[in-house]
Every structure is written in structure tokens, then in C-alpha cells.
């Protein structure tokens, strides 16, 4: 596990993040209800500024961002912007999980199970094969 690495952010984003928290989407609220308060064994925060972006949910300890993508991410431009943003933040060591807004609303329990499985993998990464062993 990382040691809660402090990531840079643009201070002007704090106010915007606060506004986004006040105006969460239905899917964000549904997911937040499942992951707040260390429900998954780790503390997540909502609308966290990192660099010049804001991620929907972030766990400092795991360096894990969770994004809930609504219809504004459905076009080619949105996809390209998301990929660029994710690539930039991954350079800081941030790992990403992305979920479609509809999946969160229709199958919150499956989304939470996926997050739990991902966290298990982060906590216990598979061991590399020993010398001479086939992968």
C-alpha cells in the first residue's frame, strides 16, 4: 500500500469540488452510500482535486480513483478527454476504475463487488513466476 502520497492540485478547484459534491448525480449518490465510511475497508472521498482535474471518488491510501461516467462521456470527444485525463493522472501512480452511470443505477451491488475485487488485487498482487517457471 502507498503511504497516502499527497498529490498536487490547483487550489481554485477546491471550490468547484465543493459545488460538485452539493450537486452529485443519482448514480454518484448511490455509489457513495455504498463506499463511504470505510465500508470497503478504506476511506474514500468525493470530488477530489488532483492536478488540474477532479475525480468523482478517491482513496488516498490505495491511490484509487473511481469515475462514474454519465452521458457527457458518450461521445468521441468525451472519451478522448477522459483518456487524456486518466493517462495524466496515472503518471502520478493513480489507478482508475470507471463505471457507466447506468450500471451504477441498475446494478450497484455488482459495481461494489467489482471495486472490492479490484481492492483485493491491489492488496495482494499476484506473485511473478519464479525463475524458469512458465507464466
Q: Where are the domains of the chain?
A: 13-123
pLDDT at 2: 47
Q: Confidence class of residue 125 from pLDDT cuts 50, 70 and 90?
A: confident
Q: Among the residues of the chain, which ranges form H helices?
A: 13-22, 26-35, 76-90, 101-106, 108-123
pLDDT tens for 31-54 read 999 999 999 999 999 999 999 999
Q: Residue 73 pLDDT more than 80? A: no
CATH superfamily of the 13-123 domain = VSR Endonuclease (3.40.960.10)
Mutual angle of helices 26-35 and 108-123, in 10-degree steps: 50
> What is the gyration radius of the CA atoms in the chain, in angstroms?
16
Q: Which residues of 67-101 are buried (b: 16+ CB within 10 A; e: fewer)?
A: bbbeeebeeeeeeeebeebbeebeeeebbbeebbb
Amino acid at each position: 500500500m502507498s503511504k497516502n502520497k499527497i498529490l498536487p492540485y490547483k487550489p481554485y478547484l477546491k471550490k468547484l469540488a465543493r459545488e460538485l459534491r452539493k450537486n452529485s448525480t443519482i448514480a454518484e449518490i448511490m455509489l457513495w452510500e455504498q463506499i463511504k465510511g470505510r465500508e470497503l475497508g478504506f476511506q474514500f472521498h468525493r470530488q477530489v482535486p488532483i492536478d488540474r482535474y477532479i475525480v468523482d471518488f478517491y482513496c488516498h491510501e490505495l491511490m484509487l480513483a473511481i469515475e462514474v461516467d454519465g452521458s457527457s462521456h458518450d461521445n468521441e470527444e468525451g472519451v478522448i478527454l477522459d483518456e487524456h485525463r486518466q493517462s495524466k493522472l496515472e503518471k502520478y501512480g493513480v489507478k482508475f476504475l470507471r463505471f457507466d452511470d447506468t450500471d451504477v443505477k441498475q446494478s450497484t451491488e455488482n459495481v461494489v463487488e467489482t471495486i472490492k475485487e479490484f481492492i483485493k488485487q491491489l492488496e495482494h498482487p499476484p506473485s511473478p513466476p519464479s525463475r524458469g517457471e512458465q507464466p
